[in-house]
Amino acid sequence: MLIKHKLISNTIVTIVSMLAMLLLMNFTSSALKQDITLAQNIGKIEAGILQLRSHEKDFLARKKSVYIDAFNTETSKLQANIRQLKQDLKSIYVSADEPIKLSSQLNNYQQFFNNVVETQRRIGFDPQSGFYGELREAAHNAEEAIGDSVMFYKMMLQIRSSEKNYMLLLDDQYIIKFGEDFNNLYTSVQKSYLVQSQKNLILNALDTYKVAFLSLVSEQQILGYHDDEGFQKAMNASALKVQLTQAQLVRKTNEAINDYVHLFKQMTYILFTLALLISIFIGWALSHSIMNAILHIKDSIVKISETNDLTIEVSTKSNDELSDMAKAFNYMISNFQSLLVSVKKSEATSDKATEILAENPLWADFIYEECLEDSKDNK
**Range 130-223: architecture per CATH:** Up-down Bundle (1.20)
CA dihedral 86, 84, 252, 74 (to 10 degrees): -120
Amino acid 93: pLDDT: 78
Amino acid 30: pLDDT: 67
By the 8 A CB rule, do 163 and 213 touch? yes
Matching fold, domains 3-125+230-274 and 130-223 = no
Amino acid 174: pLDDT: 96
Amino acid 360: pLDDT: 62
By the 8 A CB rule, do 13 and 275 touch? no
**Average pLDDT over every residue of 113-135:** 95
**Average pLDDT over every residue of 156-177:** 95
Q: Which residue has the higher pLDDT, 176 or 283?
A: 176
Amino acid 96: pLDDT: 86
The helix (H) or strand (E) run that includes residue 231 is helix 230-307
Domains in the chain: boundaries: 3-125+230-274, 130-223, 321-378
Select from 228, 256, 215, 241 the least CA-distant residue to 85.
256
- Could you tell me the fold of the domain covering 3-125+230-274? Four Helix Bundle (Hemerythrin (Met), subunit A) (1.20.120)
User: Distance from first CA to last CA of the chain, Å, rounded?
Assistant: 62
The helix (H) or strand (E) run that includes residue 161 is helix 150-169
Amino acid 95: pLDDT: 83
Amino acid 322: pLDDT: 67
Q: At what angle do helices 150-169 and 196-223 cross, to 10 degrees?
A: 10
Name the average pLDDT for the chain: 84
3-class DSSP state of 149: coil
By the 8 A CB rule, do 109 and 238 touch? yes
Amino acid 334: pLDDT: 75
**Average pLDDT over every residue of 280-289:** 76
pLDDT digits (tens, 9 = 90+) for 209-221: 999 999 999 999 9
pLDDT digits (tens, 9 = 90+) for 237-276: 999 999 999 999 888 888 877 887 777 778 777 877 887 7
Amino acid 177: pLDDT: 96
> CB within 8 A of 264, min separation 6: which ones?
27, 28, 31
**Average pLDDT over every residue of 182-195:** 94
Amino acid 180: pLDDT: 96
Confidence of residue 335 (pLDDT cuts 50, 70, 90): confident
Give the Cβ contact number of residue 45 at 10 Å: 23
The helix (H) or strand (E) run that includes residue 262 is helix 230-307
pLDDT digits (tens, 9 = 90+) for 33-70: 777 788 888 899 999 999 999 999 999 999 999 999 99
pLDDT digits (tens, 9 = 90+) for 294-312: 777 777 777 777 777 667 7
368: pLDDT strictly greater than 80 = no
